[in-house]
């Protein structure tokens, strides 16, 4: 096969592969309300819980909105991987070098795993 035919075949395969890869996770879909912070020191607990309870996440298809008491940010994400108890995404803002991990405890509760062993626990609305 010539190099030109190989190149065309490869280009034609890209849309077919993209159509089969899930762009989003159905497990994330919907609105999630922060209920508490985990992994923080006793000195940080009050402020961290205040921040957590004023944080909401909303997922629609491959879009994410993060709302806190002070600001709201929206953007797109890509599904990196989906496991039985966790979903890992990469946002357009942070990119694949900084994936975000969400660990599920059933269908109604998830933990957004943050650096340094910290997390925010969310309940599905």
Q: Report strand pairing: 72-82 vs 100-104.
A: unpaired
Grade residue 22 by pLDDT with cuts at 50, 70 and 90: low
Tokens 């357009």 sit on residue = 92
CB 123 within 8 A of CB 113: no
Q: What is the pTM of this model?
A: 0.80
First to last CA, the chain: 55
For residue 29, pLDDT beyond 70: yes
- Show Cβ contacts of residue 108 under 8 Å, excluding neighbours closer than 6 positions: 123, 124
What are the structural domains of the chain?
23-124 (2.40.128.280)
pLDDT of residue 24: 87
pLDDT tens, position by position, 75-123? 999 999 999 999 999 999 999 999 999 999 999 999 999 999 999 999 9
């Amino acid at each position: 096969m010539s190099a030109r035919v190989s190149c065309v075949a490869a280009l034609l395969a890209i849309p077919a592969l993209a159509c089969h890869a899930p762009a989003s996770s159905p497990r994330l879909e919907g609105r999630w309300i922060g209920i508490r912070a985990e992994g923080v020191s006793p000195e940080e607990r009050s402020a961290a819980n205040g921040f957590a309870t004023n944080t909401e996440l909303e997922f629609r298809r491959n879009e994410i909105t993060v709302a806190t008491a002070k600001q709201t940010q929206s953007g797109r994400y890509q599904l990196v991987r989906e496991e039985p108890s966790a979903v890992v995404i990469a946002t357009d803002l942070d990119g694949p070098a900084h994936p975000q991990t969400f660990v599920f405890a059933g269908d109604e509760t998830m933990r957004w795993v943050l650096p340094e062993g910290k997390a925010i626990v969310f309940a599905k609305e």
